């Protein structure tokens, strides 16, 4: 019977997946930053994206915040949901009509980004993450709080 990875191999795989996805998304957003907000907005407008300047700024911010969140493994659900929304918009407005394959400017890369994002949102970032570090610290504080004997005060 096939089983998923567990323990350290799972956590290493999640770390590598997070770092690769973060790198891809940083480079994805860097193209927009390098072009400049107004040129990026002009491209968005050409594709029929409404409120192109706002959409371009929103997309750049989401891609950068998502990249940082995923790389560190911290609070990935909200940035992941926003990234899924941005990538779904990319399929709707730009890539969907071109079919699947990237050679035709299709939606394969964007769909893969959505898949990776949804998997990381549902699996969590793994042990090698800021979220795990924060969870361990919270558990230690909780243990310390429970270990302190309670004193009763009589009136």
**Residues 24-83: tens digit of each pLDDT:** 999 999 999 999 999 999 999 999 999 999 999 999 999 999 999 999 999 999 999 999
Q: Are 70 and 22 in contact (CB under 8 A)?
A: yes
Of 24, 45, 41, nearest to 33 by C-alpha is: 41
Residue 102's pLDDT is 87
Angstrom distances, CA of residue 109 to CA of 61, 133, 140: 20, 31, 41
In angstroms, the CA 61 to CA 56 distance is 9
Pseudo-torsion of CA 91, 97, 101, 104, nearest 10°? -120
Of 95, 92, 97, 93, nearest to 105 by C-alpha is: 95
pTM: 0.85
């Amino acid at each position: 019977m096939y089983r998923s990875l567990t323990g350290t191999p799972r956590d290493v795989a999640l770390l590598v997946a997070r770092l690769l996805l973060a790198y891809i998304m940083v480079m994805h957003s860097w193209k927009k930053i390098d072009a400049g907000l107004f040129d990026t907005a002009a491209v968005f407008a050409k594709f029929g994206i409404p409120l192109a300047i706002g959409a371009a700024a929103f997309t750049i911010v989401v891609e950068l915040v998502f990249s940082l969140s995923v790389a560190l493994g911290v609070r990935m659900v909200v940035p992941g949901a926003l990234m899924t929304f941005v990538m779904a918009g990319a399929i709707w407005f730009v890539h969907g009509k071109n079919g699947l394959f990237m050679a035709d400017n299709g939606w394969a890369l964007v769909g893969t980004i959505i898949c990776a994002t949804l998997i990381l949102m549902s699996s969590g970032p793994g042990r090698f993450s800021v979220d795990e570090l924060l969870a361990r610290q919270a558990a230690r504080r909780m243990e310390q709080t429970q270990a302190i004997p309670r004193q009763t005060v009589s009136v």
